[in-house]
Amino acid sequence: MSTHNACVGRAREAFLRVFGTRATHAASAPGRVNLIGEHTDYTGGYVLPVAINLRCAAVGRITYGSGPFRAHAADLNQTIEFDPRGTPDQLPRGHWGRYVAGVIAGFIGRGWDVPTIEVSVATDVPMGGGLSSSAALEVAVAQFVSGICGQEIDPREEALLCQRAEQAWAGVPCGVMDQMAAIMSREGHALLIDCRTMETQHVPMPSESDAALVVFNTNVKHALAAGEYARRRAACETATRALGVESLRDVTLETIDAASSALSDHERRCARHVVTENQRTVTAADALRSGDLAEFGRLMSQSHASLRDDMRVSCQELDTLVELASACEGVYGARMTGAGFGGCAIALIEPSKSASATETIAAGYRQRCGRDCSIIPARASAGACCVAV
């Protein structure tokens, strides 16, 4: 059974058990890995994510009553009541329900007549692993609401609505990459996103006979992650103002060097990462189009080094995975993916060497870090959709 069907099935079964009736509508959305282009989306840069074969599902029905909205998380066995016309404070900070309520609130804010609903959600996307479990949840709920209301929304507007829900209701100052990848991805392709113009291009991924994309979850998430993400974003914003430009897209390394006295060391490093990462991302998309996997792998490795040394968002566990992968025969390249300080690393590997490389990486990680990593063979998958119940 595919993860899509498995998720919908779990959410449907939980809905029947908890709410005592069958769901009438269902939708699902994928997680994603970012191949390259990290900490560039919130600066209006380029990113190259790919939706993967792990999904989140939302199923439910209209209640035709005046009672509260209700949501159930099948994997946590938690049920909540909420008012999407209220404030985020009705739910605890960090609670999964804030994402659900925030998305519904976004549609109401657009003037949609959203009826009172009950919804159940289930996910195969690891929470806190850097595979965008939050965006998968937001987009699955958005697709569900669109379906239950019988209305359509422009994909880019849907992505922005979900982004605003995460910012306003969950308090996460995220960019829009994750939501766009969850909505607009195409099977067998990566999605090159210009986060300033919101323009997208579907970039063909190598076939499964040419390369295997493997995700390694460190199974750690360091407590400083959220605060340090916000600090990196703030540093990019202050650097942009100090340089007198609209976006870091508008500067070069020479510009940064010439204005070094106006920037703190932290701001300079963050700006340097963004400028070089944008260049790498565009070049990497060209390498994928031409099938130059060696060049693509080289850019992955450069990206990780920049995230480690300039942006300083890596950690021992991520560095260990990337170092182990880079030493394996048949690995084109490896890098951390996501915001950092834990979560996942990815590797692009020759298919004939994938099994042995994966085994070597897992064994080395266990020996050096004292824990197991989770291994997820990834496949470039389609974006969100409504499904039959």
Per-residue pLDDT of the chain (389 residues; tens, 9 = 90+): 455 678 999 999 999 999 999 999 999 999 999 999 999 999 999 999 999 999 999 999 999 877 899 999 999 999 999 999 999 999 999 899 999 999 999 999 999 999 999 999 999 998 877 788 999 999 999 999 999 999 999 999 999 999 999 999 998 888 899 999 999 999 999 999 999 999 999 999 999 999 999 999 999 987 666 688 889 999 999 999 999 999 999 999 999 999 989 999 999 999 999 999 999 999 999 999 999 999 999 999 999 999 999 999 999 999 999 999 999 999 999 999 988 999 999 999 999 999 999 999 999 999 999 999 999 999 999 999 998 77
Give yes or no: residues 43 and 129 share one domain. Answer: yes
Structural domain total, the chain: 2
Residue 174 is predicted with a pLDDT of 84
Give yes or no: residues 173 and 221 share one domain. Answer: no
Strand-strand pairing, 331-337 and 342-349: antiparallel
Give yes or no: residues 258 and 187 share one domain. Answer: no
Give yes or no: residues 198 and 253 share one domain. Answer: no
Give yes or no: residues 78 and 190 share one domain. Answer: yes
Catalytic amino acids? 178
CA distance 190 to 380: 7
Residue 216 is predicted with a pLDDT of 97
Q: Comparing C-alpha atoms, which of 91, 90, 110, 99 is closest to residue 58?
A: 99
Q: Are 31 and 170 in contact (CB under 8 A)?
A: no
Query: How many of the other CB atoms lie within 10 Å of CB of 68?
Result: 15
Give yes or no: residues 270 and 122 share one domain. Answer: no
Distances from the Cα of 275 to the Cαs of 229, 239, 249, 297, in angstroms? 18, 12, 7, 19
CA distance 204 to 305: 26
Enter the tokens of residue 227. Answer: 């605060």
Q: Comparing C-alpha atoms, which of 166, 180, 26 is closest to residue 100?
A: 166
Q: Are 288 and 296 in contact (CB under 8 A)?
A: yes
Give yes or no: residues 182 and 223 share one domain. Answer: no
Give yes or no: residues 196 and 216 share one domain. Answer: no
Q: What is the CATH number of the domain that holds 148?
A: 3.30.230.10
Give yes or no: residues 168 and 219 share one domain. Answer: no
Q: Are 380 and 207 in contact (CB under 8 A)?
A: no
Buried b (16+ CB within 10 A) or exposed e, 203-239: bebbeeeebbbbbbbbbbbeeebbebbeebbebbbbb
CA quadruple 243, 247, 250, 253: dihedral sign? positive
Enter the tokens of residue 367. Answer: 């020996």
Give yes or no: residues 238 and 147 share one domain. Answer: no
Q: What is the CATH number of the domain that holds 281?
A: 3.30.70.890
HEC letters along the chain: CCHHHHHHHHHHHHHHHHHCCCCCEEEEEEEEEEEECCCCHHHCCEEEEEEEEEEEEEEEEECCCCCCEEEEECCCCEEEEECCCCCHHHCCCCCCHHHHHHHHHHHHHCCCCCCCEEEEEEECCCCCCCCCHHHHHHHHHHHHHHHHHCCCCCHHHHHHHHHHHHHHHCCCCCCCHHHHHHHHCCCCEEEEEECCCCEEEEEECCCCCCCEEEEEEEEEECCCHHHHHHHHHHHHHHHHHHHCCCCHHHCCHHHHHHCHHHCCHHHHHHHHHHHHHHHHHHHHHHHHHHCCHHHHHHHHHHHHHHHHHHHCCCCHHHHHHHHHHHCCCCEEEEEEECCCCEEEEEEEECHHHHHHHHHHHHHHHHHHHCCCCEEEEECCCCCCEEECC
Give yes or no: residues 65 and 143 share one domain. Answer: yes
Q: Are 52 and 379 in contact (CB under 8 A)?
A: yes
Residue 1 is predicted with a pLDDT of 41
CA distance 118 to 116: 7
Give yes or no: residues 100 and 187 share one domain. Answer: yes
How far is residue 386 CA from its own chain's centroid?
A: 20
Domain of residue 160, residue span: 3-204+381-387
Residue 185 is predicted with a pLDDT of 98
